[in-house]
């Protein structure tokens, strides 16, 4: 099926240039080019689009306004900014409603790859409501205690970047948001970064301060919701999975970039649960009940209830936020690694195993048989490594440290 892409720019030469440059993709993409925000909204009302790529500074309605409007009226559309703006203040205005940011001049390969990648992700979720729900999320809610901590730290004049790293690393929502910002060209960086401390130092203290305190890129999880769905265990489990993943990656002598990727993927692997619980709390409650009463693994209960699992929902969100593919892939298949194309020891393998081992340690653990695909590990020739991984992970998790 052809992807429908809408391009918006007030400079006719830019539109025509894009049109010519992307002509070679005319068999794969159905492209529409318009010169203003008003016209873009009109087109969106007439026909469905998968992705909108908009300029930032335009007269009458600027890119931030347009994308905010699109987010409200057509939440399912993926929103990308393509801007030559160099003024950081103006750039920051776009952070809220924008999934990804590309800087002009942008080479055609990046643009093609980005649009292709985001539209490919859309196949992860078939349900339009669920798709719209994920695309309309500006942030993942943070644990209230951590949220207060980060706000306090950023208000303290002598706070250090290490403190910020330490707090953000404990929170699923903050980690995801920071990686989104750094993996997009908002700050002219646009590199594939999957390591949180590096992401934070690239953004810098001042940028994070204004993002958090003035632009409110982090949000707080509702306290009642936390206790109702026992969500607080999600943070502990995520952190533990990250720690186990790091340990396994090191035991297998993986290169540092792989270690960084699996720690982040481990931390974020269940973020889809946050999306579901905060947006569709009643259905989420039903899924929990279903799992408990019928002894189903959580993702099967989710599929029965939502038509999709938290793994797919989370992968889709991080995918359209522009996080590196290894992380998105590890998230998407963390329950069913055998379905992935990757048939060697990969970040996915590590996150899959780390998740199972971390669950084993919690009181309300789902059984390991549910969680661990031994056939998959055997196929990869890693099954005999499991006892050592488990032993080491037990030591670390019971010791409470890393």
Partner 1 sequence: MTNLIPTVGEQAEEMPCLNERQLRSLIEHTSDIITILNNDGAIRYESPSITHVLGYEPKELLGKDAFDLVHPDDRAATRQFFTHAIQAGKAGRPRQFRCRHKDGSWRVLEAISSLFLEEARPIGFIVNSRDITERKQLETQLAFAQKMESIGQLAAGIAHEINTPAQYVGDNIRFLQDAFCDLEKLLKSYEQLLDENKNETVAPALIAEIDATTAAVDLAYLMEEIPQAIQQSLQGIGRVTKIVQAMKEFSHPGTEEKVETDLNKAIETTLTVARNEWKYVADMVSDFDPALPPVRCLPGELNQVVLNLVVNAAHAIADVVGNNGKGTITVGTRHAGDWVEIRVSDTGAGIPEAIRTKIFDPFFTTKGIGKGTGQGLAIAHSVIADKHGGAISYETEMGKGTTFLIRLPFNPSTSQTEAVL
Q: Contact positions toward partner 1, by CB under 8 A?
A: 11, 13-14, 16-18, 20-21, 23-24, 57-62, 65, 82, 84-87, 103-108
DSSP labels, 84-153: ----HHHHHHTTTT-SEEEESS--HHHHHHHHHHHHHHTTT---HHHHHHHHT---PEEPHHHHHHHHHH
| C-beta of 19 vs 279, nearer to partner 1 | 19
In contact, 146 and 171? CB cutoff 8 Å: yes
Minimum distance from residue 88 beta carbon to partner 1 (Å): 8
Give 271's contacts (C-beta < 8 A, 6+ positions apart). Answer: 140, 172, 173, 176, 238, 310, 314, 317, 318, 331
Minimum distance from residue 85 beta carbon to partner 1 (Å): 6
Q: Is the peptide bond before 105 cis (omega within 30 degrees of 0)?
A: yes
Residues paired with residue 103 on neighbouring β-strands, in sequence order? 83
| C-beta of 104 vs 209, nearer to partner 1 | 104
Minimum distance from residue 9 beta carbon to partner 1 (Å): 9
Closest CA relative to residue 226, chosen from 140, 290, 143, 293: 143
Minimum distance from residue 74 beta carbon to partner 1 (Å): 20
| C-beta of 24 vs 42, nearer to partner 1 | 24
- 141-142/219-220 β-pairing: parallel
In contact, 186 and 95? CB cutoff 8 Å: yes
| C-beta of 103 vs 182, nearer to partner 1 | 103
In contact, 233 and 362? CB cutoff 8 Å: yes
| C-beta of 190 vs 310, nearer to partner 1 | 190
| C-beta of 82 vs 212, nearer to partner 1 | 82
Minimum distance from residue 253 beta carbon to partner 1 (Å): 42
Give 230's contacts (C-beta < 8 A, 6+ positions apart). Answer: 364
DSSP labels, 154-185: HHSTT--HHHHHHHHTT-HHHHHHHHHHHHSG
Minimum distance from residue 17 beta carbon to partner 1 (Å): 3
CA distance 326 to 126: 22
| C-beta of 104 vs 198, nearer to partner 1 | 104
Give 305's contacts (C-beta < 8 A, 6+ positions apart). Answer: 283, 284, 286, 287, 290
Minimum distance from residue 215 beta carbon to partner 1 (Å): 15
Minimum distance from residue 289 beta carbon to partner 1 (Å): 48
In contact, 19 and 109? CB cutoff 8 Å: no
Minimum distance from residue 115 beta carbon to partner 1 (Å): 14
| C-beta of 58 vs 350, nearer to partner 1 | 58
| C-beta of 53 vs 258, nearer to partner 1 | 53
Minimum distance from residue 19 beta carbon to partner 1 (Å): 8
The DSSP letter of residue 328 is H
| C-beta of 62 vs 312, nearer to partner 1 | 62
Q: Which helix (H) or strand (E) holds 4?
A: strand 3-8
Maximum alpha-carbon separation in the chain: 64
Minimum distance from residue 13 beta carbon to partner 1 (Å): 5
Closest CA relative to residue 82, chosen from 61, 60, 67: 67
| C-beta of 21 vs 148, nearer to partner 1 | 21
CA distance 81 to 67: 9
């Amino acid at each position: 099926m052809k992807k429908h892409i809408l391009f918006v720019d007030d400079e006719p030469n830019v539109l025509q240039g894009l049109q010519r440059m992307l002509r070679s993709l005319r068999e794969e993409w159905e492209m529409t080019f318009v010169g203003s925000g008003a016209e873009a909204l009109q087109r969106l009302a007439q026909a469905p689009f998968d992705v909108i790529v908009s300029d930032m500074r335009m007269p009458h309605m600027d890119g931030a306004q347009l994308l905010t409007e699109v987010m409200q009226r057509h939440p399912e559309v993926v929103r990308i900014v393509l801007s030559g703006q160099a003024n950081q203040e103006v750039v920051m205005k776009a952070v809220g409603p924008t999934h990804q940011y590309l800087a002009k001049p942008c080479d055609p390969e990046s643009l093609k790859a980005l649009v292709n990648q985001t539209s490919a992700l859309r196949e992860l979720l078939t349900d339009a409501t669920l798709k719209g729900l994920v695309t309309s999320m500006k942030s993942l809610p943070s644990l209230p205690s951590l949220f207060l901590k980060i706000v306090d730290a950023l208000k303290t004049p002598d706070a250090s970047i290490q403190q910020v790293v330490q707090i953000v690393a404990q929170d699923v929502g903050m980690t995801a948001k920071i990686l989104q910002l750094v993996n997009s060209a908002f700050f002219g960086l646009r590199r594939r970064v999957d390591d949180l401390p590096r992401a934070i130092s690239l953004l810098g203290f001042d940028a994070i301060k204004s993002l958090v305190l003035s632009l409110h890129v982090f949000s707080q999880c509702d306290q009642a919701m936390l206790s109702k769905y026992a969500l607080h265990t999600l943070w502990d489990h995520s952190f533990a999975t990250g720690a186990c993943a790091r340990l396994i990656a090191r035991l297998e002598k993986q290169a540092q970039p792989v270690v960084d990727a699996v720690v982040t993927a481990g931390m974020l692997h269940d973020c889809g649960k946050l999306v579901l619980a905060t947006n569709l709390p009643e259905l989420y409650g039903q899924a929990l009940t279903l799992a408990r009463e019928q002894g189903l693994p959580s993702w099967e209960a989710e599929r029965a209830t939502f038509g999709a699992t938290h793994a797919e929902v989370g992968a889709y969100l991080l995918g359209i936020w522009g996080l590196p593919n290894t992380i998105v892939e590890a998230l998407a298949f963390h329950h069913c690694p055998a379905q992935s194309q990757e048939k060697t020891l990969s970040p996915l393998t590590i996150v899959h195993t780390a998740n199972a081992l971390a669950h084993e340690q919690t009181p309300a653990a789902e059984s390991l048989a549910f969680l661990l695909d031994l056939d998959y590990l055997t196929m990869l020739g890693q099954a005999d490594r499991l006892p050592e991984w488990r032993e080491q992970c037990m030591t670390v998790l019971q010791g409470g440290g890393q």
